Amino acid sequence: MKRLLAILLAGALLLSGCSVVREDTNQQNNYAEADMVMQEVNLDPSIIINPALYFLDKSKSELTLAAETRKLTVGQNERAEKRIIEAILEGPSTENYGPVANGFSYEGIEILPNLINVFLNTDSEKTDEEITIMELAVVSTLVDFSGVSYINIFVNGVQSGYESRPIGVLQKPKGTLQEEQTKIEQRARMEKPSMDIMLYFLDRTEQFLVPEARSFQFETNDPEEMVSAVVQAMMRGPENTYQHMPVIDKTIAELLGTEIVTLEDGQAVVRLNFNKAPVAITQQFNDGEKIAALALAKTIIGFMPDINGIEIYVNGSPQAEPVVYTQSMSDELLGNNILLYFPNSTYTLFMSVERMVAQETAGYPEEILAELMRGPAGLDDKDVSPAFLSGISMDDVNDVYLAEDTAVVDFKASISDKLKGISRKDESMMIYSIVNTLTNIENIKRVQFLLDGERVESLGGGIINVADPLLKNPGIIKDE
């Protein structure tokens, strides 16, 4: 009964047009006041983060990692994680800490569901100990900041492993630096190694490749047999069948053998021999063989040290047009989730929807708003409804950017005509779908609406007061 009353109260507040999250009760929808007093809000584009960066603690006699809090400025269309890695590579800011990544440079980053792939370069020879210290510092820093469970680090485009043996995807250290180094060394030297590996499958929309963590207990430490075991696991398909789809039709292809070879140009590749070419049977892609090959390449290069790519052979012969599939070839196919809030069918509550988009743009406010405007998709809950009136699109938006803890949505003045005569319910749902969605961005607590760069009382409907930033309204979100 209490739950029913709470839902009815939330619905009544929504329909009344009251902003239940506004702290100043005098700033309700009262347009009778000629001189409205607005809050002071800094709308200059700026993103400030305060991560804890891990470096060597010089006060300890043994090698120990310690956190140094740093204030960093991030560009509007720049990954915060990129800036964090660059700060680690630059070294500590005080003499209390020692560097962990001398001689390394930043190359790139991929942010995927529960995984971050980090790509670094170096022109100098690095010992296993130097690489391990760098990796553990980067992993500790990124896990603390981003909340993901797994980090995969590539140096000069390949896995380093330990003594050129695989160690699996990395997680945040639980012990001392020395203990973690010993664990990695022991794992690499085991006759029957165990480790976590990321297998790449299609997402449920069959548009993107996404990783799934899998724990392996290998029967041997032979590299070719380890690769074979991983490929066989991929052919059996994902364990999480709700979020992942198979990337190889196991009824068509059978793995006959695995061989690691060095090509004339010096590249080390894994040659996979099948009875028939592996293929992903989907409704989205025309080239299922390419999708299967790229998923295999991304998986194998992601755990086996010093491998540059893979080749697909059929019954011992190369394909008609031989290709070395590298992991960079799959860049445009990698996806990540964003969270959107759409109205339910009765326009009384919001429902959360996870949407898979290209990882290169996932998390950017403009892409999130654009996806929200696209409306419900085929795999969304049937009770989900569009948040925007027909005719409103990103063409009505001047800019979307972040200003400290505020997301700023600058609409064109032309949107006012489209909103004239809109009902109280429709305007409330449109505005709070934006607010509740954009406040899911890390460190964003509120949303400021503008018209052609100016703060206004109304976007045009004359119902919701948008002069000041609006906070997230959890009271009108349906409990999952």
DSSP 376-396: --TTS-TTB--SS-TT--GGG
Predicted local confidence at residue 10, as pLDDT = 46
Residue 210 CB burial class (10 angstroms; 0-12, 13-18, ≥19) = buried
The number of helix segments (H) and strand segments (E) in the chain equals 9, 21
pLDDT score of 280 more than 60: yes
pLDDT value for 16? 41
Kindly report, residue by residue over 122-168, the tens digit of the pLDDT: 999 999 999 999 999 999 999 999 999 999 999 999 999 999 999 99
Token readout for 330 is: 């799959």
Quote the pLDDT of residue 239: 95
Q: Which residue has the tokens 């469970």?
A: 149
H-only helix segments in 60-106? 80-90
pLDDT-based confidence at 35, cuts 50/70/90?
A: low
Query: Given pLDDT bands bounded at 50, 70 and 90, which one contains residue 284?
Result: low
pLDDT at 378: 78
Which helix (H) or strand (E) segment holds residue 183: the answer is helix 177-189
The per-residue pLDDT of the chain, averaged, comes to 89
Element (H, E) at 13: helix 2-16
Q: What is the rounded average pLDDT of the residues 367-375?
A: 95
Instruction: Give residue limits of the domains in the chain.
Output: 2-37+335-476, 48-189, 196-333
What residue type is assigned to position 448 of the chain? Answer: Q
Q: Residue 14's pLDDT band (boundaries 50, 70, 90)? A: very low
**Can you give the pLDDT at residue 287?**
83
pLDDT value of residue 302: 97
- Ordered DSSP codes for 209-231: EEEEEEEEE-S---HHHHHHHHH
- For residue 347, which of 400, 293, 310, 384 has the smallest C-alpha distance? 384
Task: Quote the Cα angle for 36-41-47, to 5°.
Answer: 160
Q: Residue 390's pLDDT is what?
A: 75
What is the C-alpha separation between 434 and 387, in angstroms, rounded? Answer: 9
Query: pLDDT grade, residue 23 (50/70/90)?
Result: very low
pLDDT digits 0-9 by tens, 427-447: 989 999 999 999 999 899 999
Question: Above pLDDT 90, what percent of the chain?
Answer: 75
What whole-number distance in Å separates Cα of residue 225 and Cα of residue 219?
9
**pLDDT tens, 98-121?**
999 999 999 999 999 999 999 999
Residues 135, 253: Cα–Cα separation, whole Å? 37
The answer to whether the CB of 342 falls within 8 A of the CB of 385 is yes
Quote the percentage of the chain above a pLDDT of 70.
91
What's residue 3's pLDDT? 45
pLDDT value at 243 more than 50: yes
Task: State how far the Cα of 86 lies from the Cα of 101, in Å rounded to an integer.
Answer: 10
Separation between Cα atoms, residue 61 and residue 83, nearest integer Å: 30
- How many Cβ atoms from other residues are within 10 Å of residue 67's Cβ? 16
User: Looking at the chain, how many residues does it have?
Assistant: 480
Token digits of residue 20: 């239940």
Using an 8 Å Cβ cutoff, are 411 and 396 in contact? yes
Coil, strand, or helix at residue 409? strand
What would the 3-class secondary structure string for 285-331 be?
CCCHHHHHHHHHHHHHHCCCCCCCEEEEEECCEECCCCCCECHHHHH
- CA torsion 240-246-248-249 (nearest 10°) is 120
CA distances from 358 to 92, 173, 337, 362, 400 (A): 33, 30, 9, 6, 18
Is 403 or 16 the better-scoring residue by pLDDT? 403
Band (pLDDT 50/70/90 cuts) for residue 480 is low
pLDDT value, residue 72: 96
Q: How far apart, in Å, do the first and last CA atoms of the chain sit?
A: 18
Q: What are phi and psi of 10, to 5 degrees?
A: -60, -40
Q: Is residue 36 pLDDT above 90, yes or no? A: no
Hunting for tokens 């347009």 — which residue is that?
Answer: 31
Instruction: Kindly report the pTM of this predicted structure.
Output: 0.89
Q: Based on the number of CB atoms within 10 Å of its own CB, is 198 exposed (0-12), middle (13-18) or buried (19 or more)?
A: buried
Per-residue pLDDT, averaged over 229-245, amounts to 95
